[in-house]
Chains A and B, each alone.
Chain A
Amino acid sequence: MAVFTRTTTNLILKIEEFFDNIDIGLLVFREGIRAYLDKDMEAFARHLQKVDSLESNADKLQRAIGNEMITHSILPQHRAEVTTLIDHLDEIIDALKSTLNEICIEVPDIPTSLNKNFISLTETSISSAEELMPAARAYFKAPYTVREKLLKVYYFETETDKISFMTKKIIFQEMKELDLAHKAHLRYIIHHIENISDLAQKAADLLSGMAIKILM
């Protein structure tokens, strides 16, 4: 029985550590975008490296969680959903890493006049994912509070879409001095940042269903 208790505690710790990785990854991503917009490339490289190591650790934890759940037959009725949720959350940190990598490789020229829009877009998109994390943690401890926590995820996702739309409109309709390739490149970066909130919404939809199922 002691062995079993240790397995349970280890698994809980791994899940919590996985969530912590996503949470910190979101914070670091935000700082990374700020550093890029401030042209502080040294800080940007440092943040990129940090997100890279967090993503790598999250992947290891994801595999370990899946393996332990199968090996010790933990949560047989909810295992598939829990592993899918973890997979969806891992997609978020993957997106954080790939977005910073794209920026690092392509070095998009973001006009200073758009800094405010990009910061706002990043803040809102990241907020959407940040609001998802307490809901994901709550699923394991207080599933009846999950749905109310998810409301903010949907709110910030909608806000992200609005900011993205406005920014793209400014780029394509008001900034005549930019050539089409430059505009398309900026739109591509906007899509990348906006994608984080879309992934958060996808995970929120799954989590919402999971919370209903577990309460039945």
Chain B
Amino acid sequence: MILFFLTSGLFLGWSLGANDASHVFGSAVGSKMVTFRKAAIVASVFFILGAVLQGSGTSHTLGKLGAVNALGGSFTVALAAAITIYMMTKFALPISTTQAIVGAIIGWNFFTGNHTDSKTLSTIVSAWVAGPVMGAIFAVLLYIIVKLFKKRLRIHLIRFESYVKTGLIVVGAFGSYSLGANNIANVMGVFLPAFNLNDLNLGIFTLTSAQQLFSWEGLQLPQE
């Protein structure tokens, strides 16, 4: 039964993969600088690492938004978000998974009469505003720095391109790690309060209930 309830999380993970995987390597693959195969492998590995090692932070923030503490509730919230993302992706509209899952949690809170924490909501919404602004600032700064370096160092165009290719893979790996760490909460965060597994001792390290959940979902996310 638990596995059935988790299927909506897997569906959401699938939709998230279809929608978000292109954000990290889209331009690199589109410009033919990195092959799709290489991008898919790097994205998969680092997404899982990010989800397992650092995914819990954002899960706590999302968890504060409302109490989805029953497995059936988690299933419904994840399914609602998954259908939203799936529909949007079907119409070729890039959508924020965070927005979909936040909307689904607020909807669940309305349905069950639970309180929506407005402070947490405003924190999340302010991140939506700050995100594009910070992205734009970093893009401009990095562009200026790279342009200056290129002009000063007089690097051969072909050598510069090889550096860019390596950089795209490194940045893509970092981006995938961040995407895994940030988005795993959107997918599995709602399941955390309602899901409890025994710690899994692998000899070198031990996986907690949340990490097991994130690992499982991490395997699902980059497949698209």
Contact = CB atoms under 8 A, between A and B. Distances in A.
Interface in A138-175: 139-144
Given A8-B159, A11-B158, 16 more contacts: A1-B166, A4-B162, A8-B158, A8-B161, A9-B159, A73-B33, A74-B162, A75-B157, A75-B158, A76-B33, A77-B31, A139-B157, A140-B158, A141-B154, A141-B155, A141-B157
A73 B35 contact: yes
B156 A74 contact: no
Interface of B: 31-33, 35, 151, 154-159, 161-162, 165-166
Contacts of A73: 32-33, 35
Interface of A: 1, 4-5, 8-9, 11-12, 15, 73-78, 139-144, 214
17 contacts: A4-B165, A5-B162, A8-B158, A8-B159, A11-B158, A12-B159, A15-B158, A73-B32, A73-B33, A74-B161, A74-B162, A75-B158, A76-B33, A140-B157, A141-B157, A142-B154, A143-B157
A9 B161 CA distance: 12
A17 to B, nearest CB: 14
Contacts of A5: 162
B156 A141 contact: yes
Contacts of B33: 73, 76
A73 B29 CA distance: 12
A77 B32 CA distance: 8
Given A1-B166, A141-B154, A144-B151, A76 B31 contact: yes
Contacts of B159: 8-9, 12
A216 to B, nearest CB: 12
Contacts of B161: 8, 74-75
A8 B33 CA distance: 14
Nearest to A7: B162
Could you say which of B33, B35, B162 has the most chain A C-beta atoms within 10 Å of its C-beta?
B162
A78 to B, nearest CB: 8
B172 to A, nearest CB: 15
Highest count of chain A CB atoms <10 Å: which of B31, B35, B157, B159: B157
A78 B164 CA distance: 14
Nearest to A5: B162
Nearest to B34: A73
Contacts of A144: 151
Contacts of B156: 12, 140-141
A8 to B, nearest CB: 4
A74 B163 CA distance: 12
3 closest A-B pairs by CB: A76-B32, A8-B162, A140-B157
